[in-house]
């Protein structure tokens, strides 16, 4: 059997500038059709990670593979890569949007004029295609960046804050374009601060701080969650745990959270509780609060790190006291 190759593969990536590590031993994969988001505070290493993966920066150690090959050894793999690594996306300001895309098309090879027209329309820039990029707004340049990235119908999309500086409608447009690309099989990797938007369509979110991948959240697992409030919490939980169409049950305060194996079985939950004499107060989808989760994880990480630093600072003194 042939083993599936991850579309983007980062193995033990480390990037050091002098003695300072900006990326520390990060490993992850992004598969076909997945949207993988890097989130983290400013200076966490997201942009460096994007540059390492897209081949603009060299790792101090570790390896990057795109479609199973090293992009430094085989640059032609970049034919399948669409990327925006600058915010705002960079273009020649004295050329029109269309001319800039034509230049990209020439560099990429095998891109028709109709495709240029298509991506301009897709990013709602058809009306501005013949205007010089120098007069584009920030949001327009960002959209042109996504259009350029989509030119070659890439198998990989890598974007650094693709929606920065955008109005809500443009933001929605960019996210829907990325979602559609993923549905067509493109592996999408992006860095973002728009947690609420990405949670709606991202497959996995990597939380990065100080160059470390501190958590990877699988949002697909969390999307089919439901929560309910009933008159009998423990009775309801016991009952749900026995059901074959439910894969997971947990309690969160006065609420029960469960995951269905089959979404079509949701109706059975209310009838099951009713037939057992348990009153159902609320049954709703359990929307994962990435923002709160992210904040909590960062706080935990900082507490841990501060504790480690305290210990390492105090240890020599304790040793001296014990020795004495």
Partner 1 sequence: MLQLIGIEFRKLFRLNSLRFSLLLLALFPALWAYSPGVFNVYGYFVVSAFQVPALALNSSMQFLLPLLVGIASAELLGLEISFGTLPTVLLRPVTRSQWLLAKLLVAAVYPFLILAFFFAVSLLTGFPLGYGEFIGGTGVGVGGLLGEGSMTSNAALTELARAYFIAACSLVPISMLSILFTVLFMNAASGALATLSLLIFMGLLVVFPAVQPYLLTSQLNAYITPVAGTGWTLALIALYCAIFAAVAVVIFERKDF
Q: Which residue has the tokens 């920030």?
A: 138
Q: Which residue has the tokens 């790792």?
A: 59
Nearer to partner 1, 81 or 190 (CB): 81
Nearer to partner 1, 154 or 219 (CB): 154
To partner 1, the closest distance from the beta carbon of 136 in angstroms equals 13
Nearer to partner 1, 78 or 143 (CB): 78
Question: Are 294 and 207 contacting, i.e. CB atoms less than 8 angstroms apart?
Answer: yes
> How far from 109 is each of 7, 117, 324, CA to CA, in Å?
22, 16, 74
Nearer to partner 1, 84 or 219 (CB): 84
Site of interaction with partner 1 (CB under 8 A) = 51, 54-58, 75-79, 81, 83, 85-86, 89-94, 103-104, 106-109, 148
Q: Which residue has the tokens 């890569």?
A: 81
To partner 1, the closest distance from the beta carbon of 49 in angstroms equals 13
To partner 1, the closest distance from the beta carbon of 213 in angstroms equals 20
> How far from 51 is each of 87, 96, 107, 153, 265, CA to CA, in Å?
13, 27, 20, 20, 45
Strand partners, 281: none
Nearer to partner 1, 83 or 128 (CB): 83
To partner 1, the closest distance from the beta carbon of 258 in angstroms equals 45
Q: Which residue has the tokens 């501005």?
A: 128
**Continuous segment of H or E residues that includes residue 169:** helix 168-183
To partner 1, the closest distance from the beta carbon of 110 in angstroms equals 10
> How far from 107 is each of 94, 113, 189, CA to CA, in Å?
18, 14, 23
């Amino acid at each position: 059997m042939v083993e599936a190759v991850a579309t983007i593969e980062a193995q033990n990536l480390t990037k050091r500038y002098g003695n300072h590590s900006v990326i520390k031993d990060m490993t992850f994969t992004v598969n076909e059709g997945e949207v993988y988001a890097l989130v983290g505070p400013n200076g966490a290493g997201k942009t460096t990670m994007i540059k390492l993966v897209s081949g603009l920066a060299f790792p101090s150690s570790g390896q990057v593979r795109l479609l199973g090959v090293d992009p430094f050894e085989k640059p032609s793999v970049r034919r399948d890569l669409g990327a925006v690594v600058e915010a705002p996306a960079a273009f020649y300001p004295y050329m029109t949007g269309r001319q800039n895309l034509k230049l990209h098309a020439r560099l990429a090879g095998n891109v028709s004029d109709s495709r240029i027209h298509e991506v301009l329309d897709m990013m709602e820039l058809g009306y501005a295609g013949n205007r010089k990029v120098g007069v584009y707004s920030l949001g327009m340049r960002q959209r042109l960046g996504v259009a350029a990235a989509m030119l070659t119908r890439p198998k990989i999309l890598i974007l650094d804050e693709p929606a920065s500086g955008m109005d809500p409608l443009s933001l929605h447009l960019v996210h829907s374009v990325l979602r559609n690309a993923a549905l067509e099989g493109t592996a999408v990797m992006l860095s973002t601060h728009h947690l609420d938007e990405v949670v709606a369509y991202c497959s996995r979110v990597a939380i990065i701080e100080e160059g470390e991948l501190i958590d990877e959240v699988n949002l697909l697992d969390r999307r089919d969650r439901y929560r309910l409030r009933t008159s009998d919490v423990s009775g309801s939980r016991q009952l749900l745990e026995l059901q074959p169409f439910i894969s997971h049950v947990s309690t969160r305060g006065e609420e029960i959270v469960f995951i269905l194996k089959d979404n079509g079985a949701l109706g059975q939950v209310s009838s099951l509780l009713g037939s057992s004499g348990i009153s159902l107060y609320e049954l709703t989808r359990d929307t994962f609060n990435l923002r709160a989760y992210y904040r909590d994880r960062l706080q935990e990480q900082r507490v841990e790190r501060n504790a480690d630093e305290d210990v390492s600072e105090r240890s020599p003194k304790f040793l001296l006291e014990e020795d004495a």
